[in-house]
Chain A
C-alpha cells in the first residue's frame, strides 16, 4: 500500500495569513500520462469531506482561488494564500494511483 504522510498534523493561523500543508507519498504518484494522482479534501466540522484539488494542482469547481496545490512525484503542498475563518477543518491528501486508495492522517487547521 502507498503510505501518505502529512505535516504538520495541526496548525493555527491568523485570518489573512498564509498556510501550507505538506503531503508525502511512499511511492511516486506520477502516472505515465503525466498526471499526478493526488487529491486534497477539506472536512469542515460536522460535515463530510469536500474536494478541493485534484491531480495535484487543479482546483475543483467552486473552490476559491486562494487555494492552490503543487508538487509532483512524492512531494506535494497545499497552500492557502490568505486564510479565512471558513477554512477551518481537517485537510486530507489522498493518493489515487494505486488501489487501495489511501489518505494522509489529516491536518487540523485552527483559525486564531
Chain B
C-alpha cells in the first residue's frame, strides 16, 4: 500500500516561499498511473485543491493559485514537491499530499504551515 509523508517548515514568514516535499513509500512514483496531488485545508474549513503532477511531469494548478505555484517531481528520490511563493496569512493551512485525483486514493497525514512574522 502506498504511503505518503509531508515534510517542510511549519512556520514561514509573509512574502517568503513555502516549500514542502512529499515522500512516497510502498510503491514507485512512476508506476500505477497515479497523479500526485497537493491539497490544503484552512483551519476549521473545507478542502481545497492546489494542483497535481503526473510522473511524466504534466501538471495542473488551481487557477486561483497558479501564478504562485510550482509542483515538481523527483523520480530518483520517489518524491514530489510544492512551492508556493509570496505567502500571506491566508496561506496558513494544513497541507496534504495525496495520490490520485478522482478519486484521491491515499493521503498523507498532513502538515500545518503557519504564515507569520
Contacts and interface: CB of A to CB of B under 8 A. Distances in A.
B49 A102 contact: yes
Interface of B: 46-49, 60, 62-63, 96, 101-105, 107-110
B49 A100 contact: yes
A54 to B, nearest CB: 4
A48 B102 contact: no
B102 A50 contact: no
A35 to B, nearest CB: 10
Contacts of B46: 92, 103-106
Interface of A: 37, 39, 41, 47-51, 54-55, 60, 92, 94, 96-97, 99-106
Nearest to B97: A48
B108 A100 contact: no
Contacts of B108: 48
Given A48-B96, A100-B63, A37 B109 contact: no
A86 B105 CA distance: 20
Contacts of B49: 100-102
A101 B60 CA distance: 11
21 contacts: A39-B102, A39-B104, A47-B109, A48-B107, A48-B108, A48-B109, A48-B110, A49-B104, A49-B107, A51-B103, A54-B103, A60-B103, A94-B102, A94-B103, A100-B62, A100-B63, A101-B49, A101-B102, A103-B46, A103-B47, A105-B46
A101 B48 CA distance: 8
A99 B96 CA distance: 18
